[in-house]
DNA sequence: ATGAAAGCGCTAACAA
DNA sequence: TTGTTAGCGCTTTCAT
């Protein structure tokens, strides 16, 4: 569009300077350029600019699903920081698919995004695509779900402790046969939660029963099935800690269908503190994660890398909070 | 990175050709280039390519909030079509802010996205930013929420009919004093629903009571307040049609707090058929919108414009479906 | 079959 | 104060 501005009969670089309010430019020409630019509603071509700068002011954000409350919140947190820095976000969802995740990384890398903020998909077992980024020195920050074999900055919650607290709470409420419904085995945060769960059982001198531990995909339906199996055990559990509220709700449905009462017969606790938790009956006890802050922090760490051009590997662990509602307190109390 | 490929001592253009499998290139050099490219893991710079082509293969998608089920679904639908065409998505949320919406349009325009798919924010009262796009002949498709004064392609549902059906259903269930809690006045789909609501009342020879119509912002809290006001009327309604499930849930909370029973004392119907609807007590009757198809259709219309380079203005109206659950059927029946 | 050169839109160093 | 030039990474005529 700069050609158009040459209607004024002046050189292209003068126009460029005028547009950028460069000091070395005649006030008269400056206003003339500005006026014409407005009339022609000139828009600088960022593509050209980015090519020139060899990088764009875009941050790629890859999450499993944007519809999960945690990710929607985290994205808003990332947005806040990124916008303040004048960066824009590429948001995309891997749909828990490793292939999509890898394809996005490749694609965004091709347009030279300034950095990546990623919560890894539950089906990601390789890390070549992450290593690729690091080899090229492209800033990368994991949040919520990291990938253990990749030494990158990350902001996560203390999953071990959070699960521990939840089990502790159940114990204090009188539940003794506590089951855990976790995610796929390769999801590290599910593992951490499982370890916290086991630790808490041990510390309370409770047996760790292999039948009480389930590993399923992230779907309400699977949680329902897993719970059904738990209830059919000769010694069914009297409490269930689930990896997410989605899974917890699946468990609740199965429990209701079996005719049992929540929380008197069986307690349920989930993770994520989804808004739905307080709307369902009984209201679901859940572990609240500071999702917005997680996003903010991840973005800050990323900019730290972008601006300092050094790849410091920091790990920020945030605290989660147990929000006690009705599914985990016996009404007889 | 092409410089690197010149380690082979051949010209830059030969490399370009080799990479593109051009016929006029020696098989030997071709493989040599390909091998080195792999070893150096060369990634073509899309920025440069886009600059050359004068447009990128990106579609900008602007929605009020990605956390609403409707938009999350629609985005997945858009994704399906866009990916098949080899395009990527810029997803961003206006947070119902006109300023953000306009800023995004400007920003994405600057990087020459191929087109826009937009669901307008509830605070958008101007349309200069949309007109700007049209003036530059940039493909634009509205979905779900369109802007009446802008002649652009759009895919929406028949909001009038959907609301009409809902009121009709309430009438058949015996409810006679039906209120409507709508969104802000400038949200056209809220207006259409209100018109359908009024039409249905008239057709059933029911009075249209001005006190029974509320216009609020999209928040559960506001719906709660509005409902409280409705219940305090000397002749409170015995049914509420809400603009969204979010508002319907706010209404339900207010009703429960007032000690009234749903659906015996008062019925509630929402829009969007959010997953939460069947989890709450009582399960919420809602109008299901074909969100995924809406996204697919919008993307198809956009590509129609992109590929044919003509701005046909089409309007696609999809049908919504009333999903009857417990909040709208008297239990005495 | 391959190389040289121009150009996409823009900025910045260098001249004038 | 303004103009000229080169170059960001790539493709594509036009020569060779």
DSSP B139-188: -EEEESS--TTS--EEEEE-HHHHHHHHHHHHHHTT---EEEEE--TT-H
Q: Which residues of A touch B65 (CB under 8 A)?
A: 72
Best probe of the B interface among A47, A74, A278, by most B CBs < 10 A, is A47
How far does the CA of residue B198 sit from the closest CA of chain A (Å)? 30
Under a CB-based contact definition with an 8 Å cutoff, are residues A155 and A301 in contact? yes
Whole-angstrom Cα distance, residue A166 to residue A269? 7
Per-residue pLDDT, B332: 57
Distance B48 CA to C15 C1' (A): 29
Distance B19 CA to D10 C1' (A): 12
Best probe of the B interface among A111, A114, A134, A247, by most B CBs < 10 A, is A111
Q: What is the pLDDT of residues B143-186, one digit of tens each?
A: 999 998 889 999 999 999 999 999 999 999 999 999 999 999 99
Whole-angstrom Cα distance, residue A197 to residue A212? 11
Contact A281 B276 (CB under 8 A): no
Under a CB-based contact definition with an 8 Å cutoff, are residues A317 and A156 in contact? yes
Higher confidence at residue A191 or residue B56? A191
CB of A21 under 7 A from strand C? no
User: By three-state DSSP, how is residue A291 classified?
Assistant: helix
**Low-confidence residues of chain B: pLDDT under 50:** none
Angle (nearest 5°) at CA B78 between B73 and B79 = 95
Per-residue pLDDT, A332: 56
Per-residue pLDDT, B202: 98
Interface residues from chain B to A (CB-CB < 8 Å): 41, 43-48, 50-51, 56, 65-67, 69, 72, 75-76, 79, 88-93, 95, 106-107, 109-112, 132, 135, 249, 276, 279-281
How far does the CA of residue A130 sit from the closest CA of chain B (Å)? 14
Q: Could you give the percent of chain A with pLDDT greater than 70?
A: 99
CB of A16 under 7 A from strand C? yes
Q: What is the mean pLDDT of chain A?
A: 93
Contact A47 B90 (CB under 8 A): no
Per-residue pLDDT, A24: 85
How would you classify residue B264: left for phi > 0, otherwise alpha for psi between -120 and 50, otherwise beta?
A: alpha
Whole-angstrom Cα distance, residue A164 to residue A176? 14
Residue A309 has pLDDT above 90, yes or no: no
Q: What is the mean pLDDT of chain B?
A: 93
CB of A41 under 7 A from strand C? no
CA A3 to chain centre: 45
Q: Which residues of A touch B111 (CB under 8 A)?
A: 45-47, 50, 56
Residue A242 has pLDDT above 70, yes or no: yes
**Closest residue to D1 by CA to C1' distance?**
A25
Under a CB-based contact definition with an 8 Å cutoff, are residues B142 and B89 in contact? no
Whole-angstrom Cα distance, residue A102 to residue A130? 8
Per-residue pLDDT, B211: 97
Best probe of the B interface among A110, A274, A279, by most B CBs < 10 A, is A279
Extended strands (E) in chain B: 58-63, 88-93, 115-118, 140-143, 153-157, 178-182, 213-215, 239-242, 267-271, 285-288, 315-318, 321-323
The model's pTM is 0.90
Paired sense of beta strands B285-288 and B321-323, if any: antiparallel
Per-residue pLDDT, A22: 84
């Amino acid at each position: 569009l700069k050609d158009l501005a040459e209607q004024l009969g002046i050189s292209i670089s003068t126009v460029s300077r005028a547009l950028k309010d460069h000091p070395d430019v005649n006030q008269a020409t400056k206003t003339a350029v500005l006026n014409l630019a407005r009339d022609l509603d000139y828009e600088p071509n960022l593509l050209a600019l980015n090519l020139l700068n060899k990088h764009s002011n875009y941050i790629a954000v890859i999450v499993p699903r944007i519809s999960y409350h945690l990710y929607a919140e985290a994205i808003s947190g990332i947005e806040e920081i990124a916008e303040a820095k004048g960066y824009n976000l590429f948001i995309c969802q891997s749909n828990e698919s490793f292939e999509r995740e890898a394809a996005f990384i490749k694609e965004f890398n091709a347009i030279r995004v300034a950095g990546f903020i990623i919560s890894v998909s539950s089906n990601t077992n390789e890390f070549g695509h992450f290593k690729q980024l690091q080899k090229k020195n492209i800033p990368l920050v994991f949040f919520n779900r990291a990938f253990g074999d990749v030494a990158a900055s990350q902001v996560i919650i203390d999953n071990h402790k959070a699960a521990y607290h939840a089990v502790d709470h159940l114990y204090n409420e009188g539940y003794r046969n506590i089951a855990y419904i976790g995610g796929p085995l390769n999801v590290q945060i599910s593992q951490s939660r499982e370890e916290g769960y086991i630790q808490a059982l041990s510390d309370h001198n409770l047996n760790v029963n292999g039948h009480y531990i389930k590993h399923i995909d992230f779907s309400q339906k699977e949680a329902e099935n897993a719970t059904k199996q738990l209830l059919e055990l000769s010694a069914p559990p009297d409490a269930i800690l689930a990896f997410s509220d989605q899974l917890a709700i699946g468990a609740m449905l199965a429990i209701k269908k079996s005719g049992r009462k929540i929380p008197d017969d069986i307690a349920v606790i989930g993770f994520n503190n989804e808004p739905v938790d307080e709307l369902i009956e009984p209201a679901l006890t859940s572990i609240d994660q500071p999702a917005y802050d997680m996003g903010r922090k991840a973005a800050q760490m990323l900019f730290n890398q972008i601006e300092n051009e050094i790849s410091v590997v920091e790990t920020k662990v945030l605290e989660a909070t147990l929000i006690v509602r009705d599914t985990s307190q016996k009404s007889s109390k």
